[in-house]
Structure 1
């Protein structure tokens, strides 16, 4: 007998590790997984923000713990994997979300800033996927990996949006997703990516203040992303509802990426 839609999306008994999970998109993704029944391990750099986010999720009835770690540092990634597996047992769902951006014209972009963005946005994704994949998912022949990319990874920017390192790193996340899906499909591990468009946050306040009207004008739906807009895509890729989907990316951007030259 086939399962119902509700059963396919049910994550009860699953454990999810969410990086960059203390605020913004990461917290939205963690909330979606928790509301579907998963236990959540949050990680980010700042303990205070993790405590606040964890308390918020627990108040909503979600079993949540946290570990402070910097996913740009290999030693922190190893410690994060060690402690998560020790405290939570097997990891069924890995959400690679922690990221950084840097704005500067390409001709003047500092190399140290380039390295900072690359280390967190793509190297960190690879190293944590390697740790969790090798130690938890591959031995059990099951797992879901969700990488947060961006529509910035689909190409260049309009004039004045000087984020070449960020765009390059997110383009690498999309290719990494496809390559890992192709390699780990034999282990029954699904690897997919979400490409968000513009979601207002504290970190994007300057962009919103200076270019908000332009961004809205270029979005077919004429709206920004909100605190619910990533939930559906997250659950599709993390649950059995998406068990036959791997190596794919999905833009959640109000239609911006469907416009030629957008």
Structure 2
């Protein structure tokens, strides 16, 4: 589709999970700056994000959901469409990490991360795609992968498994849905200042080691992810399918 600004999201609605804080908040605000209205999905209040979005002249609708319960995907998408009128963009951002040595990693910690990071994103993508196909409209699915989609990591068995799986599912869905006008891609953030990395950043030696490997010589901030998300949500990426885009300050290049 040709338009004057291929990066514009004017007239679009983006459903963003975990938009209340961190990376999800940064993505939601960036998409609102590009002209999209937002549906924020999660268990916590998105009031702070809503104020930022409203200041940009866009609307934010909140949908409460426990993302450990993948069977709620259809209800979430239906409620989002009821509230905002449509869903053009899905950002599977919400994530959960549990840390323990593999020798003692528990089944409950395994299941929790796999449900939030892999199972629910798949079924949310399915529910959004079903609606898009039903009305014959193109759309965008953006999964938030990880550096651990490429690397093994340590003490994060279920997170590594889920993010590696999400990278694979991104490619599978791209293969199946590209011909339907639905782009499925992923962003792999590097080391960002979020709740999930607070333990790493508070460990002086670990933080020092991480920074020493990042060519940009700093932790990422949520705003650093916005441009990549807007790109993958916009017409500028219409011929991009199944890509996993690292936004990592050069981490993988080192």
Aligned in 2, Cα 1:110/1:2: closer, same or farther, shift over 3 Å?
closer
1:141 is displaced (CA, Å) by 3.8
Structure 2 match to 1:50: 46
Alignment match of 1:194 (pick from 183, 187, 198) = 187
Whether the 8 Å CA contact 2:29–2:52 is kept in 1: the answer is no
1:22 pairs with 2:12 = no
1:107 is displaced (CA, Å) by 1.5
In structure 1, how many angstroms separate the alpha carbons of the residues matched to 2:3 and 2:63? 35
In structure 1, how many angstroms separate the alpha carbons of the residues matched to 2:161 and 2:40? 26
1:126 pairs with 2:122 = yes
Normalised to the residue count of structure 2, the TM-score between the two structures is 0.94
Alignment match of 2:177 (pick from 179, 184, 187) = 184
Whether the 8 Å CA contact 2:41–2:63 is kept in 1: the answer is yes
Alignment match of 1:229 (pick from 224, 236, 242) = 224
Uncovered stretches (5+) of structure 2, i.e. residues with no partner: none
In structure 2, how many angstroms separate the alpha carbons of the residues matched to 1:154 and 1:203? 18
Uncovered stretches (5+) of structure 1, i.e. residues with no partner: none
**Mapping for residues 125-204 of structure 1, pairs under 5 Å:** 125-137=121-133, 139-157=135-153, 161-204=154-197
Q: Secondary structure at the match of 1:70?
A: coil
In structure 2, how many angstroms separate the alpha carbons of the residues matched to 1:174 and 1:103? 21
1:106 pairs with 2:102 = yes
1:257 is displaced (CA, Å) by 1.2
Q: Show structure 1 runs of 4+ deviating over 3 A.
A: 1-4
1:86 pairs with 2:82 = yes
1:117 pairs with 2:110 = no
Normalised to the residue count of structure 1, the TM-score between the two structures is 0.91
Alignment deviations for residues 157-197 of structure 1 (CA, whole Å, 9 cap, x no partner): 2xxx3112101110111110000000001101000000001
Whether the 8 Å CA contact 2:70–2:115 is kept in 1: the answer is no
1:94 is displaced (CA, Å) by 0.6
Whether the 8 Å CA contact 2:38–2:59 is kept in 1: the answer is yes
Aligned in 2, Cα 1:138/1:224: closer, same or farther, shift over 3 Å?
farther
Q: Secondary structure at the match of 1:228?
A: helix
In structure 2, how many angstroms separate the alpha carbons of the residues matched to 1:24 and 1:255? 20
1:139 is displaced (CA, Å) by 3.3
Alignment deviations for residues 4-62 of structure 1 (CA, whole Å, 9 cap, x no partner): 4xx1011111111001111100011111111000111111112xx32332123213322
In structure 2, how many angstroms separate the alpha carbons of the residues matched to 1:174 and 1:83? 27
In structure 1, how many angstroms separate the alpha carbons of the residues matched to 2:119 and 2:230? 25
Give the superposed CA RMSD.
Answer: 1.6
Whether the 8 Å CA contact 2:193–2:222 is kept in 1: the answer is no
Alignment match of 2:11 (pick from 13, 23, 47) = 13
Q: Secondary structure at the match of 2:46?
A: helix
Q: Secondary structure at the match of 1:204?
A: helix
Flag the structure with more relative contact order, 1 or 2, with Cα contacts below 8 A and sequence separation at least 6.
2
In structure 1, how many angstroms separate the alpha carbons of the residues matched to 2:20 and 2:215? 30
1:2 is displaced (CA, Å) by 5.9
